[in-house]
Amino acid sequence: MDELEQSEKLARFEAERGRLFGLAYRMLGEASEAEDVVQDAYLRWEASASVEVPGAWLTKVVTNLCLNRLTSARARRERYVGPWLPEPVFTDGSVLGPLETVEQRDSVSLGMLVLLERLTPPERAVFVLREAFDYGHREIAEILDLDEAHVRQLYRRAREHVGESRKRFTPSLEQQKKIVERFLAATLDGDVVGLERLLAEDAVSWADGGGKAMAARQPVFGRDRVVRLLAGLARHPRAAGAELEIGLVNGEPAVVVHEAGVLTSVIVPEVVGDRVVAVRAVANPDKLAFAARQKM
């Protein structure tokens, strides 16, 4: 292959990189793993002969690389210290593709990525390709080397596993931001009454420290207990020196925490209607590495 052909091949891959990363991230829930998958796909692309439909070829390669990794990833997560949450990604750019609609934002929300953990690897692949990228059943069958009837069955099962827990009403992005701002202000002020008004009665808090950062190792269930947890965090000595701001993470407004210039936590309140129904906090420094690089 001459230099011109190599240049053209690299340019073609770069045109697909963002979509491929978005696919791998939705499949794996880990930005660092998604980066590795995309790099592996590039090496295969570089070594490939003439490809008739590059986008389809690359989608098939990335999907299968992710399927291979999901089995080992599940085993690692079973040994994980405390609750496992996906790696947060700042989405004020286009790193995960367009997030203009509620459906597009929902496809990368931490809540949805947690729900996808319930699925088998093939179910997850079918669901992501169909819901997030609008592939038809026949196209998905070709990507996964399955018959179309089997793909339809996998999709139906995936929707059954995920559908019952999906949000009934998601407010606009602007409404979500206002609620998260009120949530942050009430937490910092130790406003117990304000937090009680914001949190749903059955609110849940998850914290992912991975054994490497201070975090509750069990979920906290119920509004009263979550309020006490939040009030306690606000009184912690470290809180006084922390810098907090609202950022867009996985398509949702989130509380971003820096200490001495280092990203130490990302807290994502899940808003349904006018209430916070869940709080997911990622503090494991390994899980924050990708997000930290985004802001460099």
Q: Where are the domains of the chain?
A: 3-82+120-163, 173-294
Using CA atoms, how far apart are residues 177 and 181, in angstroms rounded to an integer? 6
Please give the chain's pLDDT, 296 residues, in tens: 566 577 888 889 999 999 999 999 999 999 999 999 999 999 999 888 878 888 999 999 999 999 999 988 887 888 889 999 999 999 987 788 778 777 788 889 999 999 999 999 999 999 999 999 999 999 999 999 999 999 999 999 999 988 765 655 678 889 999 999 999 999 999 899 999 999 999 999 999 999 999 888 999 999 999 999 998 888 887 877 899 999 999 999 999 999 999 999 999 999 999 999 999 999 999 999 999 999 87
CATH code 3.30.1490.20 for 173-294: no
Instruction: Give the side-chain half-sphere CA count within 13 A for 138.
Output: 0
Using CA atoms, how far apart are residues 261 and 277, in angstroms rounded to an integer? 30
CATH code 3.80.30.20 for 3-82+120-163: no
CA proximity to 243, closest of 171, 172, 295: 295
